[in-house]
């Protein structure tokens, strides 16, 4: 599909910027993890251009999901054994899920 779009792109556009504008544009595109052309196309299309997540965010998400998996197993064992700790584990599991949603929402993952 990207190849089809490249074939359609036959219009060259020239834009004059100040040094500050250029620095800002380059910086924003870099933060989004995009080439300047892709950054501008997204902006023109009215798409929200988000900052790319820091490299350690995917690792953090994996860890949060591993903790959730452990909490789910503990909760299942506690509930099947009638242990009173089950409510505390359920709260921890809910907090873990909320944390994962906040991380994913913050970085548009």
Q: What is the pTM of this model?
A: 0.47
Q: What does the pLDDT read at residue 4? A: 53
Cβ-contact 61, 103 below 8 angstroms: yes
Q: Quick check: 5 pLDDT over 70?
A: no
Query: Mind listing the pLDDT tens digit for each residue in 13-63?
Result: 899 999 999 999 999 999 888 899 999 998 888 887 777 777 788 888 889
Cβ-contact 53, 103 below 8 angstroms: no
- The secondary element (H helix, E strand) that includes residue 47 is none
């Amino acid at each position: 599909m990207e190849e089809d779009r490249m074939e359609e792109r036959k219009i060259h556009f020239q834009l004059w910027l100040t040094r500050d504008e250029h620095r800002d544009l380059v910086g924003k595109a870099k933060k989004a993890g995009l080439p300047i052309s892709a950054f501008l196309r997204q902006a023109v299309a009215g798409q929200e251009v988000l900052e790319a997540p820091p490299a350690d965010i995917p690792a953090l998400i994996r860890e949060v999901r591993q903790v959730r998996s452990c909490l789910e197993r503990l909760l299942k064992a506690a509930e099947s054994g009638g242990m009173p700790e089950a409510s505390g584990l359920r709260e921890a599991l809910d907090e873990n899920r909320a944390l994962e949603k906040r991380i994913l929402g913050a970085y548009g993952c």
